[in-house]
Structure formats: C-alpha cells, structure tokens
Amino acid sequence: MAAVSDKVGSWASSLKRDVVALWIASRDRRTPLAAKLVAGAVAAYALSPIDLIPDVLPVLGQLDDLLIVPLGIMLALRLIPAPLMQEFREAALSRARPRSAIAAAAIIGIWILGAALLAMVWLRQEP
C-alpha cells in the first residue's frame, strides 16, 4: 500500500512541477505559438485560486483536477519540443508556484455569465 501512495505522491509532485514548467513555457519566445496557447491556458487554469467546478461538489469538483489538468498537460507536452520542456522543468524546480489572478477573474466571469444566462432563462418562463 505504501508503494501506491508513493507513486501517487510522485505523480502529483511531477504534475505540480509541470504546471510551473508550462507557465514558464508560455512566456518563452522559443515555444511554438500553439504550444504557448495550450501551455498558458493549462497553467492559468491549474494555478488559478478558483476552480471552474468547485471542489465542494462531490465527484464533479475533483474531476477537473483529476482529468482536465493532466489531459491539458499531456497535450501541451506533445506540442513543446522535448529539449525545451526539459529546460523548463529544470527551471520550474527553482521557482515558487505562481498564482494566476487573470484566470481567477476569467473563471469568476464564467460563473457570472452562467448565472446571468440561467436568470434570463428563468425570467422568460411563463407563469
């Protein structure tokens, strides 16, 4: 059982490092444009202090952390040349984990837009 928890801990640690590495990649001029866009979006979402789906919702709240972020990282890794990614990973080891205020604002905007759309649908219903 300890081996499984060690593997999960190692996987989580590598995900955290890769998120910071993608944040670095999204700001590096040598990163291809498509990779910059994907890496920036994944890093912003993962580093945002606010989740798109709140963790208080059972199962759905953890789904974004368990699926969206790792799948986004996998896509970004396919788009970034391996030597560059290795360099970004090494740089990520010495950097503190940044926070993305812009992503937090975007997620708040999505929630506000969603609430406004629901209100419009609700108000258009005839009694």
Task: Give me the pLDDT at residue 1, please.
Answer: 57
- 76: its two tokens: 């970004």
- 77: its two tokens: 């890794």
Within 10 angstroms of residue 59's Cβ, the number of other Cβ atoms is 8
Within 10 angstroms of residue 2's Cβ, the number of other Cβ atoms is 6
Task: Give me the pLDDT at residue 109, please.
Answer: 82
For residue 34, the number of C-alpha atoms closer than 13 Å in the C-beta half-sphere is: 7
The more confident residue out of 58 and 72 is 72
CB-count exposure of residue 56 (10 Å: 0-12, 13-18, 19+): exposed
Global pTM reads: 0.67
**Domain chopping of the chain, boundaries:** 2-124
- What digits encode the pLDDT tens for the residues 32-50? 999 999 998 888 888 776 7
